A and B are shown apart, each in its own frame.
Chain A
Amino acid sequence: MQWETVIGLEVHVQLATQSKIFSGASTAFGAEPNTQACAIDLGLPGVLPVLNEGAVAMAVQFGLAIDAHIPDTSLFERKNYFYPDLPKGYQTSQMAQPIVGKGEVEIVLDDDVRKRIRIHHAHLEEDAGKSLHEDFHGMSGIDLNRAGTPLLEIVSEPDMRSAKEAVAYLRAIHAIVTYLGISDGNMAEGSMRCDVNVSVRPKGQEAFGTRAEIKNVNSFRFVERAIEFEVERQIELIEDGGKVVQETRLYDPDQDETRSMRTKEEANDYRYFPCPDLLPVMLDSAYIEHQRATLPELPTEKRHRFENSLGLSAYDAGVLSATRPTAEYFEAVLAVCGDAKQAANWVQGELSGHLNRENIDISNSPVTPEQLGGLVSRVLDDTINGKAAKQVFAALWNNEGQSADEIIDTRGLKQVTDTGAIEAMIDQVIADSPVQVAQYRDADPEKRGKMIGYFVGQVMKASRGTANPQQVNGLLKQKLDEA
């Protein structure tokens, strides 16, 4: 039987506010346990939450970025359950009236196929603390630094049909929130976490199959692998005559498998009800328009502009718009050198190569976009040739000069285009290589093309890489073929 996979994602995005969603405590990552939890985060008796306006603004910006309806009233509710890292015994969240309504996100698949994924809603909530089960000799430690950190939970419709689509969707969400600057998107630190709902159904069948929810998957790769494992598990189960049960599962990256956590019967009754300590959030159109005015150009718009106005290939446009730092870097290079294709080549070629090799994020690149733009400009105006350009780049990377011009100057890398000077060097090489000249001249004219490389190399060497390679090639041919 042919099976179809149905996937929906709940993405928890940690918002980049300075302080927590309902208290003034810091949200910075990595502090000593329990040093960033105030009386409110600890849920001490008598304390009250006060909503952080920054979190509201960020949620609204996200809503506007996905063309969502922003209701004029949203409401905080309490989701009640007991857990040691949940200090109040309830999580303040939104249920019936979330801050962001229905919206849409465009994803790009292989071969530039585009698909729109619908967003059901997005809501604000507070994060819980962390339970630490190791190093406490049979007990658990609790770190409440994370308690009260603002989260935006983005809930998609079950619109994805493969693990690849799910990853593309997650990347699109990642791009949007980082473009907006509402999250650092750092999945390793838990700034973006994902619950994946997966089911399978026979191809052509309308009704959804029973779904399993895989909790807390925290990397793009794990999302893909968890889905692939889970789909295979469900198909095998059904084909062997079994039934998928609705349950919560956990992905274990070490074993590369999902395991059951709890079934529907064991699920909590969360007893949601409106939080009496917080007023409904009322947003007027002036506020929403004010937020709209702060929106930067978003990834999809940028990709379209790179492709249509700058004439980049769909692939280049996609890569260069994928993250805000990459796009900003590219645009800064372009602003200096004025040539989109060259700028794109250098950012994706030499720069990416170096960054990847040394595992450096583009926002921390040792070569600034201004420096790279200056370098590209010198290539464009033929001041240096490609080979010298790589030397200049390496020098910039190693901080051996302030600018391409300075390095070109101090190292004498300026391209030699003076025919007389090049001819003199050629004559010298020919004079120094009688054996090779004789071989060349004895060879079939078809084979000479390959053999000329030796002479080009010698001339370039003699010029310390500065001779114009096209000129060298042409003049060499003339002189060698002369006889």
Chain B
Amino acid sequence: MHHMTLTELAKGLKAGDFSSRELTTSLLDRIERLDGEINSFVTVTRDQALAAADTADQARAKGESRPLAGLPLAIKDIFCTQGIRTSCGSKMLDNFQAPYNATVVEKLRAAGMISLGKTNMDEFAMGSSNENSFYGPVKNPWDRTAVPGGSSGGSAAAVAAGFAPAALGTDTGGSIRQPAAFCGITGLKPTYGRVSRYGMVAFASSLDQGGPMARSAEDCAHLLGAIAGHDLRDSTSVARVVPDYLAELDAPLDGLKIGLPKEYFGDGLDAEVESAIREAIRVYESLGAKVCEVSLPHTHLAVPAYYVIAPAEASSNLSRYDGVRFGHRCDNPVDLEDLYKRSRAEGFGDEVKRRILIGTHTLSEGFFDAYYRKAQQVRRLIRQDFMDAFEEVDVLMGPAAPTPAFDLGAKKDPVSMYLQDIYTIAINLAGIPGISVPAGFAGKRPIGLQILGQHFAEGQLLNVAHQFQQATDWHRRHPTDQETT
């Protein structure tokens, strides 16, 4: 039961093999027993989860028909949950309870899903290893000496460790796809605007996007269908019909044109990762796909452009954490300036401070044109690269990350950490969707294949991922409890 997909669990509930309460209790007990070591949850909401499970069981007895009803999941602690702490992995919000739910939380609740709790993450989603959390690092369930990736590291680890069949994550520069790859699960970053950002604590508003993390593309299709859609409370969400993602899953891949960006197979790519990805491509060829090389010539500019735009927006988004109305406030401030300085100095961790400083600098008078404006120009070029490539091919494929999960504490230098996101960051800058699916191992550590599509091509991505998962079983592998503990 701990490693079943949502689809399988739904069948089990329907068949009466187990109740929602039994399922939920079993997962909660497992979290209690094993998460001390993994540290994937920041808050476990046992009482609320069991109450919701009972409600779901009663509804089922009366002929419940919603496909996700009674199924549990975990929620990244960046999504506001009414009456339950939303920490965003930060001391700054350690005491914060939102008086509202994020739109996606509301939608999942309306679908009848049960939240087990809130998952650990890099502070304010800034990080690629989940080592930047006020609540301590998360460990990779496959190998406890490795990171789970980040920033949605808690969500990825919880799914991989059998604590939750699925989780919500967010992705600003790879924060769903890279941890999904590191933990051997399936994670989808939707098109910017596909999923409402209302109630999702902002890191970089023009890049942030919430999405599903689960054990299969099929499960991601279920979840995306539940959370996608226009939201009047988010002006950047797109008023566009949400298709039936399940209906597209079984379409054959005959004649699918796959492009391999040559820039994604260059220097710095780990040999084992490369060979796993090439092997995955051969699977697609066997399914009838045509493969060719394409170029995304501005790829090398993605990381620098991102580390101007994202910190610039973050520096402004994080100004509200000033110790005045909510969040951490220093003891006994002597005056306003002291209140600001100490509250922020104490409340934020090093990486968050680093990015606030970078962002403040790049927006400053005299630097704006050289940094922010230039980065926006680069952003347009990067987007155009993808548009040009999609003139030639249907989807792009490559590794989700240059290496498998690295050791905890291995990357001390921020820039080497930033380069982790070299294959994921451009996708956020372009606003297109991307999915990471399990495609092999380097030793004990999983490898993720990244598939990219045009804006709003989530249905196609899920279809392409699902067909791969029909032909392979990488996504069905899970760590043993010995590995987890």
Closest chain A CB from B309 CB (angstroms):
9
Contact of A45 among B201, B206, B236, B368 (CB under 8 A): B201
Known interface pairs A45-B88, A89-B322. Does A50 touch B199 (Cβ–Cβ under 8 Å)? no
Asked whether, in the complex, the Cβ of B232 is within 8 Å of the Cβ of A50, the reply is: yes
Known interface pairs A80-B319, A89-B316. Does A48 touch B363 (Cβ–Cβ under 8 Å)? no
User: Is A87 an interface residue, CB under 8 A from the partner?
Assistant: yes
Residues of A within 8 A of B79 (CB): 46
Asked whether, in the complex, the Cβ of B198 is within 8 Å of the Cβ of A47, the reply is: yes
Asked whether, in the complex, the Cβ of A142 is within 8 Å of the Cβ of B324, the reply is: yes
Q: Mark B104-116, 1 if CB is under 8 A from A, else 0.
A: 0000000000000
Closest chain A CB from B407 CB (angstroms):
32
Residues of B within 8 A of A279 (CB): 235-236
Compute how far the CA of A392 lies from the CA of B484 in the bound complex, rounded to whole angstroms.
96
Asked whether, in the complex, the Cβ of A87 is within 8 Å of the Cβ of B325, the reply is: yes
Q: Which residue of A lies closest to B360 (CB)?
A: A271
Asked whether, in the complex, the Cβ of A82 is within 8 Å of the Cβ of B322, the reply is: yes
Contact of B235 among A80, A82, A278 (CB under 8 A): A278
Residues of A within 8 A of B325 (CB): 42-43, 87
Closest chain B CB from A21 CB (angstroms):
13
Contact of A46 among B80, B315, B364 (CB under 8 A): B80
Compute how far the CA of A45 lies from the CA of B234 in the bound complex, rounded to whole angstroms.
14
Closest chain B CB from A34 CB (angstroms):
10
Q: Which of B71-127 contact A (CB under 8 A)?
A: 79-80, 86, 88, 93, 96, 98-100, 102
Q: Which residue of A lies closest to B86 (CB)?
A: A45
Closest chain A CB from B352 CB (angstroms):
14
Residues of A within 8 A of B316 (CB): 78, 80, 89-90, 271, 273
Asked whether, in the complex, the Cβ of A90 is within 8 Å of the Cβ of B93, the reply is: no
Q: Mark B187-209, 1 if CB is under 8 A from A, else 0.
A: 00000000001111110111000
Closest chain A CB from B377 CB (angstroms):
14
Asked whether, in the complex, the Cβ of A90 is within 8 Å of the Cβ of B233, the reply is: no
Number of interface residues of A (CB under 8 A): 28
User: Is A39 an interface residue, CB under 8 A from the partner?
Assistant: yes
A-B pair number, CB within 8 angstroms: 99
Contact of B326 among A44, A269, A272 (CB under 8 A): A44
Asked whether, in the complex, the Cβ of A88 is within 8 Å of the Cβ of B320, the reply is: yes
Max count, chain B CB within 10 A of own CB: residue among A46, A88, A272, A273: A46
Q: Which of B33-90 contact A (CB under 8 A)?
A: 79-80, 86, 88
Asked whether, in the complex, the Cβ of B324 is within 8 Å of the Cβ of A48, the reply is: no
Compute how far the CA of A87 lies from the CA of B320 in the bound complex, rounded to whole angstroms.
6
Asked whether, in the complex, the Cβ of A89 is within 8 Å of the Cβ of B198, the reply is: no
User: Is A242 an interface residue, CB under 8 A from the partner?
Assistant: no
Q: Which of A50-100 contact B (CB under 8 A)?
A: 50-51, 78, 80, 82, 84, 87-90
User: Is A277 an interface residue, CB under 8 A from the partner?
Assistant: yes
Compute how far the CA of A272 lies from the CA of B316 in the bound complex, rounded to whole angstroms.
10
User: Is A420 an interface residue, CB under 8 A from the partner?
Assistant: no
User: Is B241 an interface residue, CB under 8 A from the partner?
Assistant: no
Closest chain A CB from B203 CB (angstroms):
11
User: Is A276 an interface residue, CB under 8 A from the partner?
Assistant: yes
Asked whether, in the complex, the Cβ of B202 is within 8 Å of the Cβ of A50, the reply is: no
Q: Mark B174-198, 1 if CB is under 8 A from A, else 0.
A: 0000000000000000000000011
Asked whether, in the complex, the Cβ of B93 is within 8 Å of the Cβ of A45, the reply is: yes
Q: Which residue of A lies closest to B359 (CB)?
A: A271
Contact of B236 among A44, A84, A88, A277 (CB under 8 A): A277
Known interface pairs A271-B360, A273-B368. Does A44 touch B98 (Cβ–Cβ under 8 Å)? yes
Contact of A277 among B86, B235, B320 (CB under 8 A): B235
Residues of B within 8 A of A401 (CB): none
User: Is A158 an interface residue, CB under 8 A from the partner?
Assistant: no
Asked whether, in the complex, the Cβ of B313 is within 8 Å of the Cβ of A46, the reply is: no
Compute how far the CA of A48 lies from the CA of B237 in the bound complex, rounded to whole angstroms.
11
Q: Which residue of A lies closest to B336 (CB)?
A: A84
Compute how far the CA of A273 lies from the CA of B365 in the bound complex, rounded to whole angstroms.
11
Q: Mark B141-170, 1 if CB is under 8 A from A, else 0.
A: 000000000000000000000000000000
User: Is A181 an interface residue, CB under 8 A from the partner?
Assistant: no
Asked whether, in the complex, the Cβ of B319 is within 8 Å of the Cβ of A88, the reply is: yes
User: Is A49 an interface residue, CB under 8 A from the partner?
Assistant: yes
Q: Which residue of A lies closest to B102 (CB)?
A: A46
Compute how far the CA of A150 lies from the CA of B252 in the bound complex, rounded to whole angstroms.
54
Known interface pairs A45-B80, A46-B98, A273-B312. Does A89 touch B319 (Cβ–Cβ under 8 Å)? yes
User: Is B372 an interface residue, CB under 8 A from the partner?
Assistant: yes
Asked whether, in the complex, the Cβ of A46 is within 8 Å of the Cβ of B320, the reply is: no
Compute how far the CA of A420 lies from the CA of B204 in the bound complex, rounded to whole angstroms.
95
Max count, chain B CB within 10 A of own CB: residue among A78, A87, A276: A276
Q: Which residue of A lies closest to B79 (CB)?
A: A46
Closest chain B CB from A220 CB (angstroms):
34
Closest chain B CB from A279 CB (angstroms):
5
Closest chain B CB from A90 CB (angstroms):
5
User: Is B418 an interface residue, CB under 8 A from the partner?
Assistant: no
Asked whether, in the complex, the Cβ of B235 is within 8 Å of the Cβ of A48, the reply is: yes
Residues of B within 8 A of A89 (CB): 316, 318-320, 322
Asked whether, in the complex, the Cβ of B235 is within 8 Å of the Cβ of A84, the reply is: no
Residues of B within 8 A of A84 (CB): 322, 324, 336
Q: Which residue of B lies closest to A22 (CB)?
A: B235
Q: Which residue of A lies closest to B364 (CB)?
A: A269
Compute how far the CA of A265 lies from the CA of B32 in the bound complex, rounded to whole angstroms.
58
Known interface pairs A45-B80, A45-B86. Does A276 touch B197 (Cβ–Cβ under 8 Å)? no
Q: Which residue of B lies closest to A34 (CB)?
A: B325
Closest chain A CB from B381 CB (angstroms):
18
Residues of A within 8 A of B318 (CB): 89
Q: Which of B296-351 contact A (CB under 8 A)?
A: 312-313, 315-316, 318-320, 322, 324-326, 336, 340
Compute how far the CA of A82 lies from the CA of B233 in the bound complex, rounded to whole angstroms.
26
Known interface pairs A46-B102, A82-B340, A271-B364. Does A276 touch B206 (Cβ–Cβ under 8 Å)? yes
Compute how far the CA of A82 lies from the CA of B316 in the bound complex, rounded to whole angstroms.
10
Compute how far the CA of A84 lies from the CA of B339 in the bound complex, rounded to whole angstroms.
10
Q: Which residue of A lies closest to B324 (CB)?
A: A84
Compute how far the CA of A316 lies from the CA of B20 in the bound complex, rounded to whole angstroms.
81
Compute how far the CA of A87 lies from the CA of B98 in the bound complex, rounded to whole angstroms.
16
Compute how far the CA of A301 lies from the CA of B199 in the bound complex, rounded to whole angstroms.
49
Closest chain B CB from A55 CB (angstroms):
14
Compute how far the CA of A88 lies from the CA of B313 in the bound complex, rounded to whole angstroms.
13
Compute how far the CA of A336 lies from the CA of B393 in the bound complex, rounded to whole angstroms.
77
Compute how far the CA of A46 lies from the CA of B233 in the bound complex, rounded to whole angstroms.
11
Compute how far the CA of A139 lies from the CA of B314 in the bound complex, rounded to whole angstroms.
30
Compute how far the CA of A50 lies from the CA of B233 in the bound complex, rounded to whole angstroms.
6
Residues of B within 8 A of A271 (CB): 315-316, 360, 363-365, 368
Known interface pairs A45-B93, A80-B319. Does A39 touch B99 (Cβ–Cβ under 8 Å)? yes
Q: Which residue of A lies closest to B365 (CB)?
A: A269
List the 3 closest A-B pairs by CB distance, nearest first: A89-B319, A271-B363, A276-B205
24 interchain pairs, CB-CB under 8 A: A42-B325, A44-B320, A45-B86, A45-B202, A46-B80, A46-B102, A46-B197, A46-B199, A46-B200, A46-B202, A48-B236, A50-B232, A78-B316, A80-B316, A80-B363, A88-B319, A89-B318, A89-B319, A90-B316, A269-B364, A269-B365, A271-B364, A273-B363, A277-B205
